[in-house]
Amino acid sequence: MKTAYLGKKVKKIRKSHSNLLDSISRTNEDIKHGSDIWNVYDFMYLDKNKIPALNVLEISIPTKSDFIIESKSMKLYLNSFYNKSFKSKTEIIKKIRKDIESKIKTKIKIKFISTFEKEPQHIKLNNLKSKQTPNKKIIKFNGFRSICPVTSQPDFANIYIYSDKSINTIWLKKYLMSFANHGGFHEQCIELIFKTLKNEFSINHLEVCGRFQRRGGIDINPIRGTHNKKLFVNFREFNQ
């Protein structure tokens, strides 16, 4: 994986240019449904009067894309808007969409947001006593941990699973806990969980969502499923 910025020192950046973005090939050849939702909490720019404005951006990249954007390059690119003036939010959306789509060769969704959806009703896996998870219910595992394969820094998340078939509770807890020292990007971890569950239990309707904690002002929330219509949306456990 050859990138311009990942794992390297970066000099001061003055321009918000698409060349700051690094694209990485996906590896999910057989996962057709899902998306990666990026929440950009600290997106700053100058309005038409050159007054700073701080907003939250939501960027959704479909799983069918052949490429994703490397997260450090995305942060550098979006942070470079802080001293650039725009006439309107529409102008900003248009530019970011054009720059990202030119890199990943796929249409994306992007918008400014002021609120998140509520956390879906769920059953907590951590303290579940029954031998099998209930089917057709959302299961939540609190305290997922994995390791960034480049920086070796830990990433934390809550994992949400919907399955139309029951899953062995002890096995599922051990499996999700086994990622604590696993090196993998957010997207790769969720894809591996999705594939393992689907193959291990022959699940027909399965959807897995990783609600990761933010790092560098951005969180990445992969959703992978068997159906085109997604059950999970851009929610937060706490809206603060």
pLDDT score, position 32: 75
H runs (alpha helix) in 43-139: 71-79, 89-104
User: What's the pLDDT at 28?
Assistant: 60
Catalytic-labelled residue, pool 42, 99, 148, 164: 148
3-class SS of residue 233? coil
Catalytic annotation, pick one of 30, 42, 47, 155: 155
To the query of whether residue 164 is one of the catalytic residues in this protein, the response is: no
Under-50 pLDDT residues of the chain? 1, 10, 13-14, 16, 240
Alpha helices in the chain (DSSP H): 71-79, 89-104, 169-177, 186-201
Q: Is 148 a catalytic residue?
A: yes
Structure tokens at 17: 């240019």
Residue 18, pLDDT score: 80
Give pLDDT, residue 66. Answer: 87
Residue ranges of the domains in the chain? Answer: 18-113, 119-236
21 φψ region: left (φ > 0), alpha (ψ -120 to 50), beta (else): beta
Structure tokens at 23: 């694209």
CATH architecture of 119-236: 2-Layer Sandwich (3.30)
- Residue-wise pLDDT tens digits, 115-131: 999 999 999 999 999 99
Q: Please give the pLDDT value at position 156.
A: 97
Cα–Cα distance between 207 and 154 in angstroms, integer?
Answer: 24
User: Per CATH, which fold does 18-113 belong to?
Assistant: GTP Cyclohydrolase I, domain 2 (3.30.1130)
